[in-house]
């Protein structure tokens, strides 16, 4: 699996095919893992809050018949965006971190 900067040319002219930049310089990977980890946790909780809020608002408006169906499309759109972003932040980002942290274990 190729990771970012794995084809970056070194000052001596090599392209890094023997090992990625992260395996040769783990200090470069530390900020990337930290930022991606914080983004994964905050994004997951934020998107869960949005989905719960939209669902509760929808159930409240249905129970009390306070709003028309004009807002239903907007709520569905926001919930769909939050759900797709939740998949990225809860699944894809942790897998990227795990893939980055398990480089060259052989």
Total structural domains within the chain: 1
Does 2 fall in a domain?
no
- Dist CA 96 CA 34 (whole Å): 12
Q: Could you tell me if residue 3 is inside a domain?
A: no
Cβ-proximal residues to 20 (8 Å cutoff; 6+ apart), any chain: 2, 3, 5, 6, 103, 104
**Mean pLDDT on 43-65:** 89
Q: What is the pLDDT of residues 13-52, one digit of tens each?
A: 544 454 555 666 677 778 888 888 899 999 999 999 999 9
Is residue 87 situated within a structural domain?
yes
Tell me, yes or no, whether 1 lies in a domain: no
Structural tokens at position 82: 């939050």
pTM, two decimal places: 0.66
Name the residue among 77, 85, 73 with its Cα closest to residue 49.
85
Quick check: is 62 in a domain?
A: yes
Lowest average pLDDT, out of 15-29, 50-64, 81-95, goes to: 15-29
Domain that holds residue 49: 27-101
C-alpha to C-alpha distance for 25 and 106, rounded to whole angstroms: 17
Could you tell me which residue, 73 or 71, shows the higher pLDDT?
73
């Amino acid at each position: 699996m190729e990771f970012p900067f794995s084809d970056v040319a070194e000052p001596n002219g090599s392209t890094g095919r023997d090992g990625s930049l992260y395996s040769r310089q783990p200090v470069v990977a530390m900020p990337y893992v930290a930022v991606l980890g914080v983004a994964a946790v905050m994004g997951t909780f934020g998107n869960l809050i949005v989905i719960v809020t939209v669902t509760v608002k929808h159930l409240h408006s249905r129970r009390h018949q306070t709003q028309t169906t004009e807002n239903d499309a907007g709520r569905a759109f926001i919930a769909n965006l939050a759900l797709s972003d939740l998949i990225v932040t809860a699944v894809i980002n942790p897998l990227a971190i795990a893939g980055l942290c398990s480089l060259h274990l052989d």
